[in-house]
Amino acid sequence: MPTHVTGELGDATTGFPAPLARELRAESVQSLGRGTSPARVWRVTTPHAVLAVKVLRRGAGLVDGQDIGSFLKEPAQLQRVRRELPRLAPHVVDVLGVWQQTAWAAYAMPFVAGAPAVAPAVPRHEAHGRLNEVFTVLTEHGYARTRRTSGEDLSRHDLSRVRRRLWLLRRHLHRELLEGPRITVNGASCRPLVPLLHAIEGDASLSRLLRPRVVSYPVHGELDLADLLAPAASASFTLLDPRGTQGYRDPVEDFARALFSMTTLDRCTTSGVRLWRSAPSGRRPASYVLRAADPYEGYAAMGTWFVDMLGDLPFGAELTRIDPRWRVRLAFAHGFHALVEATARLSAPPPDDGGGRARTPVTLATAFCALGLRLLEAAIAGARQSPGTLPDVSTGLDDPAGAVWRFGGAR
């Protein structure tokens, strides 16, 4: 249940900064739960408006990009997009105030009623329509606004971010996920993380393949589908929670993050993941079997349709014309998003409800790391076989026959 407090509001009672509550003349404060970052969002009722206030405490996150300086780039990006992209501005949440103190920072927005435009329980035909509408607007009025020639390959940024956070994975995950001989993940043979990163980094032909021809206007930077709120039965939507990106970026990064939301993130963080690990024995490699804990297998199955839909949009058709290998980059970014999210789970506080066994930080981090290995191996294979088409982006999270679970419980 959300925290609901009236009267005198303060840090000890709610975790919401008391000075900010006084400045806003807050009448009530409700926690809207934790998302996928260390920051928290609060519904704040004031005498004049209902606000959504996002707050980050200093030290709440353990990894780069979770500090107050990075956090304050979010409202700056929202303000820039609203100022520079007038046709997209009605779909971008407004920033009503920004605060920075020694121990915390915050920014306030109008409270937007609604739910994610697309989520696991949304019927597939409805999800198809909403995704088409949303990404038509985002591409035509956002990413397509301006573009620049790029010289940096996609993998360098993602490789360096994962390497900077390896210490956190070493602290919490089984060593076989990171170093040593091959393992299996949902039946696929995979190299552990460190040798896999070495292989990608040292492959010159792959580096050329992963270099985008152009980069686009920084609309978001980390586009989870939960960052697209829509009122019920409405074609409208509101864009929230950008990464704070200021420079031009490969739009494929955002497309891949949305794909990761669809194939993995939304289902695992909402309902959890069942995990079965078999330790290495003799010549038998370590094995990880991961299964979604919800029944929404159709949500993940939309992944290939989603990428095809992007390619059919005017922006996607133009992207294919000038950069025909963008689908391969998307598959690599998809895998890297899984690895980065593994580190984020270990850095952020656990869910407010405790998460249960299927949603603990270590369970989710293990699942995301293992699936990231599987996805990157599939991306490498696809890049070598057919660099103009989308590699396999399936995760194996669904097991309709229930074969694994007939022989033992998850752990």
What type of residue sits at position 127? A
Mean pLDDT for the stretch of residues 348-375? 84
Q: Residues 106, 131: one domain?
A: no
Instruction: Please give the Cα distance from 361 to 101 (Å, whole number).
Output: 29
| Band (401; pLDDT cuts 50, 70, 90) | low
Q: Residues 97, 125: one domain?
A: no
User: 349, exposed or middle or buried, with CB in 10 Å at 0-12, 13-18, 19+?
Assistant: exposed
| Band (7; pLDDT cuts 50, 70, 90) | very low
pLDDT tens across 82-93, in order? 999 999 999 999
Q: Residues 91, 131: one domain?
A: no
Tell me, what DSSP letter sits at residue 234? -
Whether the pLDDT of residue 369 is over 90: the answer is yes
Whether the pLDDT of residue 168 is over 70: the answer is yes
Q: Residues 226, 252: one domain?
A: yes
- What is the C-alpha radius of gyration for the chain, rounded to an integer number of angstroms? 21
Q: Residues 56, 41: one domain?
A: yes
Q: Residues 219, 321: one domain?
A: yes
Q: Residues 142, 245: one domain?
A: yes
pLDDT of 33 reads 76
Q: Residues 351, 381: one domain?
A: yes
* DSSP assignment of 204-232: HHHHHHTS-SEEE--S-SS--GGGEEE-T
Query: Residue 261 is part of which domain span?
Result: 115-407
Q: CATH no. for residue 66? A: 3.30.200.20
Instruction: Please give the Cα distance from 91 to 110 (Å, whole number).
Output: 13
Last residue within a domain, chosen from 47, 82, 110? 110
pLDDT tens across 212-227, in order? 998 999 999 999 999 9
> Terminus-to-terminus CA distance in the chain, angstroms?
27
Mean pLDDT for the stretch of residues 237-261? 94
Q: Residues 282, 359: one domain?
A: yes
Instruction: Please give the Cα distance from 317 to 297 (Å, whole number).
Output: 29
Instruction: Please give the Cα distance from 371 to 2 (Å, whole number).
Output: 32
pLDDT tens across 99-120, in order? 999 999 999 999 998 899 999 9
Tell me, what DSSP letter sits at residue 262? I
Residues pairing with 211 in the sheet: none
| Band (343; pLDDT cuts 50, 70, 90) | very high
Question: Which residues have a Cβ under 8 Å from the Cβ of 298 and sit 6 or more positions away?
Answer: 124
Longest dimension (CA), the chain: 68
Structure-token pair, residue 303: 């992944």
Match 């404060």 to its residue by tokens. Answer: 29
**For residues 30 and 3, is the Cβ–Cβ distance under 8 A?**
yes
| Band (62; pLDDT cuts 50, 70, 90) | confident
Angle between helices 326-347 and 251-260 (to 10 degrees): 60
Q: With CA atoms as reference, report the closest residue to 137 among 389, 2, 314, 327.
A: 314
Residues pairing with 353 in the sheet: none
Q: Residues 324, 369: one domain?
A: yes
- How many domains are there within the chain? 2
| Band (150; pLDDT cuts 50, 70, 90) | confident
pLDDT of 236 reads 87
Helix H or strand E encompassing 49: none
Mean pLDDT for the stretch of residues 347-374? 84
Last residue within a domain, chosen from 49, 78, 110? 110
| Band (406; pLDDT cuts 50, 70, 90) | very low
Q: Residues 15, 119: one domain?
A: no
**For residues 225 and 210, is the Cβ–Cβ distance under 8 A?**
no
Q: Residues 131, 226: one domain?
A: yes
Tell me, what DSSP letter sits at residue 392? P
| Band (14; pLDDT cuts 50, 70, 90) | low
Whether the pLDDT of residue 11 is over 90: the answer is no
Cα angle value 147/148/149 (rounded, 5°): 135
Q: CATH no. for residue 389? A: 3.90.1200
Last residue within a domain, chosen from 63, 88, 110? 110
